[in-house]
Amino acid sequence: MILEALQYAATNAVTAKEFRPFVRSSVGLWSRAGRCAKAWADHEENCKAFIRDATSGMKQRRTAVVLGSGLLRDVPIEDLARTFDTVVLIDLVHLATVRSWLAAKRLRNVRLISRDLSGFEDAVAGRQPEPFAFMRQVPYLDLAVSANILSQIGVGSQRRLERERHPAPAPLLKMLAQAHLDGLAGLPCKTVLLTDIRYEVSDRDGQVIEDGDLLYGASPPDPKRRWLWPVAPYGELARNSQAVHEVVAV
């Protein structure tokens, strides 16, 4: 708890006011990642390996953008920083520990931007969300990586819609997921999509307690790889249940 409090205070101090409401959830993710490091290791390495493979044959390596950079545990940031002229990390919050780690590694060509990538405000206002419209202004864009952010957009938006008692959240959630997929596909550069698409909660006897579609009916392109990610191993959510997500890499 002490480390979480320190992380929260340090991150809050360097985060713009409009993004401070999201600091707590980012610190919570950081704390869970530490507790589940062993269970998450294969998933994180699969993500990094897929990004490395996807970029191995690229001839132009000017600007790379990572959408949903988060804790950087699933992104080969040192490889990207070494091989691209500029790497831009975009997320709601960049934790103080992430900032200090980047500084310690002297990755001077890495830029941090805080931005809401969900398209939520447009969707609830009845407008077609275009979450990546701003990417048209990124000069010399050669790579865009959506790093395990798509399902988080849905989860976060669903919670917000429920708090606001929205009458029909499901169509909006599908719209947001599809806007992310369409926006990524429409970028004039090489793209990588890493996302969990389904979840299943089961007990120690293998009985499925709960399952669901994390993309709310939106369909990603055919994946080149897929694997299982034990997001919440036994003991994380409950003693006798675990949550496992299916991940695709496109």
What is the pLDDT confidence band of residue 158, given thresholds at 50, 70 and 90? confident
Burial 101-112 (b: 16+ CB within 10 A, else e): ebeeeebeebee
Q: Beta 63-67 vs 141-147: how paired, if at all?
A: parallel
Element (H, E) at 56: none
DSSP per residue, 113-174: EE---S-HHHHHTTSPP-TTGGGGGSTTEEEEEEES-HHHHHHHHHHHHHHTT-S-HHHHHH
The DSSP string of 83-130 is: HSSEEEEEES---HHHHHHHHHTT-TTEEEEE---S-HHHHHTTSPP-
Question: What confidence score (pLDDT) does residue 167 get?
Answer: 64
Higher pLDDT, 1 or 16: 16
> At 98, which CATH number?
3.40.50
Tell me 250's DSSP state. -
148: left (phi over 0), alpha (psi -120 to 50) or beta: left
Domain count, the chain: 1
Q: Average pLDDT, stretch 200-215?
A: 93
86 CB neighbour count, 10 Å cutoff? 19
Q: Does residue 174 belong to any structural domain of this protein?
A: yes
Residue 214 in contact with residue 197, Cβ under 8 Å?
Answer: yes
Query: 95 lies in which domain range?
Result: 39-249
Say if 8 falls within a structural domain.
no
**Most confident of the following: 29-33, 133-137, 155-159:** 29-33
| Helix, strand, coil abundance in the chain, percent, nearest 5 | 45, 25, 35
Q: Look at residue 34 and give its three-state secondary structure.
A: helix
Is residue 150 included in any domain, yes or no? Answer: yes
Report yes or no on 11 lying in a domain.
no
Residue 62 lies in a domain: yes
At 142 the pLDDT is: 97
Domain presence at residue 72:
yes
The reply to whether 172 falls in a domain is yes
pLDDT of 181 over the 90 cut: yes
At 228, which amino acid appears? L
Q: Are 142 and 129 in contact (CB under 8 A)?
A: no
What would the mean pLDDT of 19-23 be, rounded to a whole number? 94
Of all helices (H) and strands (E), which one includes residue 5?
helix 2-13
Nearest by Cα to 43 from 237, 209, 181, 232: 232
Does 48 map to a domain? yes
pLDDT band at 149 (very low <50, low <70, confident <90, very high): very high
